[in-house]
Amino acid sequence: MAIFEEESNASQDGNYREHLNRNWRNGNTEFADLRRLINGVYTSISSLWDAIAGWTQQLNGVRQQHEKDVDALAKRINELNETIEKQDARISKLEGAVFNAVYINDTDELPTDNPTISEDINDTHVIDDDNGVIIEESDPTLPHDIN
């Protein structure tokens, strides 16, 4: 598309007319070059926007995967914390039994129809014969059925 049109007028000097026509052609060539340059810049910007959109999509995918990984890790940490709390409770029971002679009913978490009857070891009569502990069977306070 030409911006400048060549003119022909019989009253103008031929050399001057040719000079004007060269200027018009040169002007049209320069505008065509500028148009190509602008189109090239526009194409580059469009390509850059497309690339940015692709990178954004990839980053969103990576972010979503990391969020899933973080959620899974947080869930695992909560599970481990619950396990630690249960183990702490069991260790406390064992420490009480070992250091404070506290009875441990390890069937608390098991369903049972028969309640467990127990007797504190300090309430029984025992004899130590240096080979182990023997419970006196003649003691009437001992339970007859030991579970």
Please report the pLDDT score of residue 105 as a whole number. 63
Q: Is the pLDDT of residue 48 over 60?
A: yes
Give the pLDDT confidence of 78-126 residue by residue, as tens digits.
999 999 999 999 998 888 778 776 566 665 555 555 544 445 555 555 5
- pLDDT score at 96: 79
- Closest by CA position to 123, among listed 143, 104, 105, 106: 143
Strand partners, 126: 135
* 3-class secondary-structure state, position 145: coil
pLDDT tens per residue across span 10-35: 666 778 888 888 888 898 999 999 99
Give the Cα separation of 143 and 146 in Å (integer). 7
* Average pLDDT taken over every residue of the chain: 77
Contact (CB, 8 A) for 116 and 105 = yes
Mean pLDDT of all residues in 41-56: 95
User: How far apart, in whole angstroms, are the C-alpha atoms of residue 16 and residue 23?
Assistant: 11
Q: Look up residue 56 and give its amino acid.
A: T
